[in-house]
Structure 1
């Protein structure tokens, strides 16, 4: 089959996007929490390839090059600016290798740029620095032949707009998603729906939200975006049980924790008890799909099984759907006549 572009796939239906490599690779033991720099692309390329592969086969139409936080400022902070270009290029090359392995249709490869954490709407020099950082990363994306660039987790509209301008300058399709903090408004005063409308008007193929918020506290804003924006809308929440009182995962409490945590909050390394299960995530995916979200996935904390549940919820059979849960032959919950009757009594007693 000829490899379809992102726009063609969006025209044909829903595009599933598996993100969340940052937390997943930390969980697998290949990335340091705190610095959260994707040195795995240099130090453990096979581990990164396997993670790419797991998310792709679970249903992701996109292999997102793992370059989140791999910008010049972050590399300066950790004293490894010499790794900046090799890390970016290798992350993309590994993604391209894995994308070609898809047994049905070669997956899309997306370059990745993100919030820089130095943007200041009152400081013109910071805007120049941000633009330069985006420009060099996008130039490597262009040279390595990505299908589109994903600019994500922006909590300033103007920073997102700079990202969009630089992606367009390189002649590549752009997906731009916003990270909404607990103030419920972007830090330069834009609502997410107004920002997305502006981004779409300025040429983004997809505009929407990702990260920071779970389904419960992201979906109301996705609905506002969907009502305001013409065209393709993206939604990639985190898989944690955020609430109106605690709308992001930055301050989620865990009332059952009996130990002293190394940080003041459960974020980022003590969030484990606060996960949504895959069935809750599937319900959200169907809700988002039903209102017309076209670019659908999960962000930090997502596992391949969760991505598969999201894909299946909107009617997509993934390569790994053959491993989806089936309790028919389970020793406690099965329905086979040959199962031990005594065991079956433990369905409610065990």
Structure 2
């Protein structure tokens, strides 16, 4: 197999990279992850399932195998009494991701994320976060990651700590940093990080600090995340931009999947009653086409993602991944189809009966 081109080589060469995220929600739906803590215990308990999901997303069109180390940091693992499994879970997830990436000629990335510990001005918590990021970044570099993602960061301060760890301990690997913008607004009424930095300005600060790719992921669906990217595009962010929304139909009044309500009951849907707000495949196609119009080179889907969505995204960009073989073909449907093959059996049977 020829050597796989690196992330920055591909992005600087004008390619679009598709990245499938969302493993935590996918395994929660399969009943291998508990909603609430959302800790990826499945990596240790059923590694064969994780390996298969890696393959499924690549088969559907992902250019990257993102190691399932989201929420596999010290804080979350301790929450479910899994602290003793911390290093094993990280290294196993990374090794399997490396294995599948090598099998399929794709890239593999390590993953660090929000810790739930960040408090501006709290030196003790800052030190704790630095230690958590350090060990995960070192494991990712040692296990052969091609780049490292820091994702779902709601505070610029914590995002800066994550970027600092990648730069210090990532052995020169590219850093992709994606913020999660929820509903906070600054004094001017503009959407901002939870620590009150306007969204585009936060990306600019990450760019200035050395991030190789910056953007937004999670929380917001396609319709409410794309305006953030449009603003960033207009602002002239020079490094490649990334966007990985959740595949839910968020709206202006309910801009994140954590604010979506059930029209039948009026109750909040997050996290286990979101099904009624899932995007259609056509929604994902339209999202992909808009990303292409904007020239966004790093695109994907986050919590709620599954292979059929990743396939739709890939096909919206003109690709035909292996899974396209099983894309819908309604011309062969027993009710809606019009293909001549549908009547071939009946014609053959009639001919056989006439020849008796």
Same fold (TM over 0.5): yes
Distance of 2:120 and 2:74 partners within structure 1 = 19
Aligned to 2:354: none
Q: 2:268 aligns with which of 262, 265, 274?
A: 265
- Work out whether residues 21 and 66 of structure 1, in 8 Å CA contact, stay in contact via their aligned partners in 2: yes
Tell me if structure 1 keeps the 8 A contact 2:37–2:79: no
SS across alignment from 2:340: coil
Say yes or no: does 1:322 pair with 2:325: yes
Matched, 1:59 2:74: no
Do residues 200 (structure 1) and 212 (structure 2) align? no
Specify the SS of the correspondent of 1:234: strand
Equivalent in the alignment of 2:21: 19
Aligned length: 332
> Quick check: 1:128 aligned with 2:127?
yes
| Whole-Å separation in 2 of the counterparts to 1:145 and 1:227 | 36
Partners of 1:26 and 1:33 within 8 A in 2: yes
For 1:289 and 1:165, locate their aligned partners in 2 and report how far apart those are by CA, in whole Å.
31
Q: Check whether the contact 2:332–2:341 (CA below 8 A) recurs between aligned residues.
A: no
Alignment of 1:240-319 (within 5 A): 240-257=248-265, 265-319=268-322
2:222 maps to what in 1?
Answer: 215
2:239 to 220, 225, 231: 231
Are the equivalent residues in 1 in contact too, given 2:153–2:178 (CA < 8 A)? yes
Once the 2 structures are TM-superposed, how far is the Cα of residue 205 of structure 1 from its aligned partner? 1.3
CA distance in 2, matches of 1:275, 1:118: 30
CA distance in 2 between partners of 1:292 and 1:202 (Å):
23
CA distance in 2 between counterparts of 1:33 and 1:78 reads 12
Q: Give the superposition deviation at 1:128.
A: 1.3
Contact 1:116 1:130 in 2 (8 A): yes
The residue that corresponds to 1:3 in the other structure is 4
Distance (whole Å) between structure 2 residues aligned to residue 270 and residue 214 of structure 1: 16
Question: SS of the residue aligned with 1:101?
Answer: helix
1:153 is paired with a residue whose SS is: strand
How much has 1:257 moved relative to structure 2?
A: 5.0
Pairwise CA distance, 1:338: 5.4
Query: Are the aligned partners of 2:221 and 2:250 in contact in 1 as well (CA < 8 Å)?
Result: yes
Rounded Cα–Cα distance in structure 2 between residues aligned with 1:330 and 1:205: 47
Write the mapping of 1:30-109 to structure 2, written as runs, cut at 5 A: 30-102=32-104, 106-109=105-108
Q: What displacement does 1:55 show? A: 0.6
Residue in 2 aligned with 1:346?
none
Separation of aligned partners in 1, 2:127 and 2:173: 21
- The answer to whether the 8 Å contact 1:180/1:212 transfers is yes
CA distance in 1 between partners of 2:220 and 2:167 (Å):
28
* 1:337 maps to 2:344: no
User: C-alpha separation between the residues in 2 aligned to 1:336 and 1:323?
Assistant: 17
Q: Distance in 1 between matches of 2:57 and 2:291?
A: 20
Structure 2: distance between partners of 1:231 and 1:185? 20
In the alignment, what sits opposite 1:179?
Answer: 180
> Can you give the 5+ residue segments of structure 2 that lack an aligned partner in the other structure?
185-190, 344-356
Greater Cα shift, 119-128 or 290-299: 119-128
- 1:144 paired with 2:143, answer yes
Q: Any stretches of 5+ residues in structure 1 without a counterpart?
A: 259-263, 341-350
In the alignment, the residues of structure 2 paired with residue 11 and residue 144 of structure 1 have an alpha-carbon distance, to the nearest angstrom, of 25
Question: Is the 2:182–2:256 contact (alpha carbons within 8 Å) kept by the matching residues of 1?
Answer: yes
Tell me, yes or no, if the aligned pair for 2:69 and 2:90 is still in contact at 8 Å.
yes
Aligned to 1:345: none
- Structure 1-normalised TM-score? 0.92
User: So what's the TM-score if we normalise by structure 2?
Assistant: 0.90
Q: How big is the alpha-carbon RMSD for the aligned residues of Structure 1 and Structure 2?
A: 1.4
The structure that has the greater radius of gyration is 2
Give the aligned partner of residue 344 of structure 1: none
